[in-house]
Amino acid sequence: MKDYKIFEIYPHFSCNQKCIHCFNGEDFRKNNKGLSFEKISKSLFKMRKKGCDWLSILGGEPTVYSDIFKTLSLAKKLGYERIMTFSNGIKYSDFSFAKRMKEEGLTDTCISVHGDSAELHEFITQVKGSFKAVLKAVENLKKLKINITFIIVINRRNYKFLPRMVKKFVSLGVKNYMIFALKYQGRMSASGYKQAAVNLSEAFSKIDETFKIFNKNNLKFPTLLHVTPCILPKYHKNLDNYKPKESSMLIQDGKEYGLKSAHKGFMFLSSCRQCVFYDGCSGFDPGYAKIFGTKEFKPVKKLKRVSF
């Protein structure tokens, strides 16, 4: 696979779901109204000249951004080879909308899904019918040959069912995945943690069983996010925040940041310096530590050879 240079933009933080674990809190949303298309345009030009050829559009929900079609069209004209949205999938359940997104330049989309049933998924989204919309979105996106990646966010309700969820989604023809642990900010730092929080060791307790499903289906094992390598040492090569690749981000203050800014304020223990992963580790979330403490984060002093 080509080694792309990624540029991420966050055009706004509006959304058509009310996920209890969203890391964008209510005050944050009120104080960050969105970027103008003019600002986005200038940044697209600038970062393309710097060699960026993969555009990721996040949020909020990018599909409800008022200038989403114009943004895709410009990125395509500028020569971004891959153009991706990070979405909840609701808008893609409308075939005409999905088709227009494809025509304007969309090549890929990541869809967040939180369960293999309406009960599990909609417990998080707080929107009735959102699970049915995801299934319809997959159907539409496959017809249009838009690459689909499922983002599975692990929470207290669904972590035990991770293997079952993967089996279900693989049967739908979804081949690419990312598995997220929760971030303890925004709604999660307000009230969401009471309903969704789970410690990392429990959250990933089914990961070996899940690996076997990917292996059996000859699928690439997914990227794992928001978890430190000391929790999952044998999967360290799959961790997004272990030796993260450099990329650039455009967020609501209109300034561009490097990827490492996403981990600003993360913590290390004094014992972390003894860990074989220390140099490439981004640390752990202090919001998580307030709830679960730091006993899980133990230095790995020797990396065992693991053959899958």
| DSSP letter for each residue of 30-50 | HH-----HHHHHHHHHHHHHT
Using DSSP's 3-state secondary structure scheme, residue 93 falls into helix
For residues 247 and 259, the answer to whether their CB atoms sit within 8 Å is yes
pLDDT in tens, 34-59: 899 999 999 999 999 999 999 999 98
pLDDT of residue 307: 47
Q: What are the residue ranges in the chain where pLDDT is below 70?
A: 1, 192, 244-264, 305-308
The model's pTM: 0.90
Please name the residue that has the structure tokens 């049967």: 171
pLDDT on residue 182: 93
Strand partners, 148: 109
pLDDT given for residue 148 in this prediction: 98
Collapsing DSSP to helix, strand or coil, 107 comes out as: coil
Structure confidence at residue 189 (pLDDT): 76
